[in-house]
Amino acid sequence: MPMDFVVSAYKVMSSVSSLLVFLGLIRREEQGIAKIGTESAAIIVLYGIGVIMMLTGGV
């Protein structure tokens, strides 16, 4: 994979993560998956995807 594509993928993931955090601050959910909000569950999923991307050497 070209390095520019990998860097772009990480930039998109960080932007989406930031957006989800801001949405979680604006609209707080009391219940959801494992009694956390949907935005928190989405952040955990994105984190897992990022870890897998780093371990496999890119996208």
Return the ∠ at Cα 17 (arms to 19 and 35), rounded to 5°. 95
Residue 10 CB neighbours (<10 A): 15
Per-residue confidence (pLDDT) for residue 2, from 0 to 100: 66
Q: What is the pTM of this model?
A: 0.67
Measured distance CA(30)–CA(38) in Å, rounded: 10
Over the stretch 6-48, which tens digit does the pLDDT of each residue have?
778 888 888 888 888 888 778 776 676 677 778 888 888 888 8
Given the structure tokens 């957006």, which residue do they identify? 19
Measured distance CA(46)–CA(49) in Å, rounded: 5
At 3, the amino acid letter reads M
